[in-house]
Structure 1
Amino acid sequence: MTLQDKLAAQRIYMVLGALFITSLVVSNLIFQKFFYWYPFHLEIFGAKLFELSVGILPYPVTFLITDLISEIYGKKRANDIVVVGIFASLFSLLIVFVSNFVPATSWSPVNDGLFSTVFGNTVLAVFASMMAYLFAQFVDIQIYHFWKRATKGKHLWLRNNFSTFSSQFVDTLTILLLLCWFGIIEWSKFKGLLVAGFIFKALIALLDTPFLYLGVYLFKKRFKLKANEEIELI
């Protein structure tokens, strides 16, 4: 690979990293709004099956990106993105904490009470999200590379979906346990939100498989990669 190609690959890696971090941080900030996704009117464990936090919307993007990075750049680079995401979450947590601490002016469009209502639980939410995120992302990367080795680089759909299904269940279970433990969500909602969250994420994982295939195809065509070959960054 030429130096120019390596520089291009580096820039693409940085763009993917930016999309990953943005999706992660935003999902932590908007989680308190819930919506009802209703293709079917179903209830389970006394709760509507598809009552979901809007924070779930950008979050699956992070798993698609880590799978793409794992496939093209390798396990180490995928883990690097996970670590960077942790620091980004901590920094966003610090910004929200300071912003909530300083008093609003009398003419501020958003007063202290409103700001605290929207972002007051963010500290606990980000902590819960980071714990879930840590477990889930590392599970995703480990399982992805296990299947990549086991299949000798074949059957991309298998490692993408198996790794994402496992990691998304870990993520959903962990964050709900912590949010219920902290009293942000009632325990009565736990089972319904767990099932709904996992089903939604599993459906998204199935739907994003063609996009992963497309991304891998474009990378291999652009950088002339052989089967199972990974890009080594500068």
Structure 2
Amino acid sequence: MPDAQTTHAIQARRDLVFLVLAGLFLGTLGMLNILGLTRFLALGQIGSWPIVVAVGALPYPVTFLCTDLISELWGEEKAAQVVWVGLLLNGWVVLILWLGGVMPGLSGGPEDTFFEIQRLAFGSVGASMVAYLTAQFVDVRLFHFWKQRTEGKALWLRNNGSTLVSQLVDTTAVVLISHYGAHVLPVRGGEPVLPQLAAFIASGYLFKAIAALADTLPFIWLTGWLRRWLEVPGAGSEITG
């Protein structure tokens, strides 16, 4: 049986890892809400189909890796708590951007830059708050559904089976709300809208799906390494306390 000093050291490691994962999740979420739709990146082309991704989407797959690791090691309740804190962070971002717009500013400052960022951020945050909450809870719930069905085995299945579905939900919701709710997508006038929105959804999902598949091996390796370092016994078992 470990002594008090060893138990304290193990708990300190567990607290540190949880803080890093939750901090990376929340920091990434805040960053993508500010960057959001400020720029669209051309990542290549498949035939005549361009792969276009909003800059805010670049770090987003990291959030699903973080919640999957928290789900695997700490359980569904802890992962859900982090998701709810992320929603509060979204609200905090909106509040600060709103205050920055209504409070008096110095003449001659970069007013146009701020208000353009505010306009785009309001559009992306409004879209992401709905999409984020839906997609992250879908991810957490599906992760534990597959974990229960496989009795803690098949890490690759619950990692990809949860993320691939939740990323499709997220991408579709963000694109549709960004266009119909906030009107901030660079849609070309004079051309049919639905094919353009479908292209945005397909491009965003393709990027996120590739990122999700690419993180399978890191997820499996990190899970195994963290289980040993944090002394979490047995596949599928979770940290308590």
TM-score (norm 2): 0.89
Which of the residues 20, 24, 32 maps onto 1:15?
Answer: 20
Letter in 1 for 2:113: L
CA distance in structure 2 between the partners assigned to 1:88 and 1:66 by the alignment:
16
Pair 1:58-2:59 in alignment: yes
Q: State the match for 1:94 in structure 2.
A: 95
Q: State the match for 1:211 in structure 2.
A: 218
Pair 1:190-2:197 in alignment: yes
Greater Cα offset, 122-131 or 154-163: 122-131
CA distance in structure 2 between the partners assigned to 1:25 and 1:159 by the alignment:
26
| Post-superposition CA distance 1:40-85 (Å, at most 9, x none) | 44334xxx2x111001111110000000100011100000100010
Identity of aligned residues (%): 35
Q: State the match for 2:116 in structure 1.
A: 117
- Residues 24 and 85 in structure 1, CA contact (< 8 A), matched pair in contact too: yes
The runs of at least 4 consecutive aligned structure 1 residues that moved more than 4 Å come to none
CA distance in structure 2 between the partners assigned to 1:193 and 1:215 by the alignment:
32
| Post-superposition CA distance 1:76-129 (Å, at most 9, x none) | 000010001011111111111111222332342x2x222111222322321210
Q: State the match for 1:3 in structure 2.
A: 8
If asked which structure has higher relative contact order (CA below 8 Å, sep 6+), I would say 1
> What count of residue pairs does the alignment treat as equivalent?
226
Pair 1:162-2:161 in alignment: yes
Q: State the match for 2:239 in structure 1.
A: 231
Q: Per-residue deviation at 1:231?
A: 0.7
Greater Cα offset, 94-103 or 191-200: 94-103
| Post-superposition CA distance 1:169-212 (Å, at most 9, x none) | 00001111101112112345211010111111000001111111
Letter in 2 for 1:199: L
CA distance in structure 1 between the partners assigned to 2:46 and 2:173 by the alignment:
26
Q: Give the aligned CA root-mean-square deviation in angstroms.
A: 1.5
Q: State the match for 1:29 in structure 2.
A: 34
CA distance in structure 2 between the partners assigned to 1:6 and 1:15 by the alignment:
14
Does the residue aligned with 2:33 lie in a helix, a strand or coil? helix
Does the residue aligned with 1:140 lie in a helix, a strand or coil? helix
Q: State the match for 1:71 in structure 2.
A: 72
Q: Per-residue deviation at 1:140?
A: 0.4
Q: State the match for 2:140 in structure 1.
A: 141
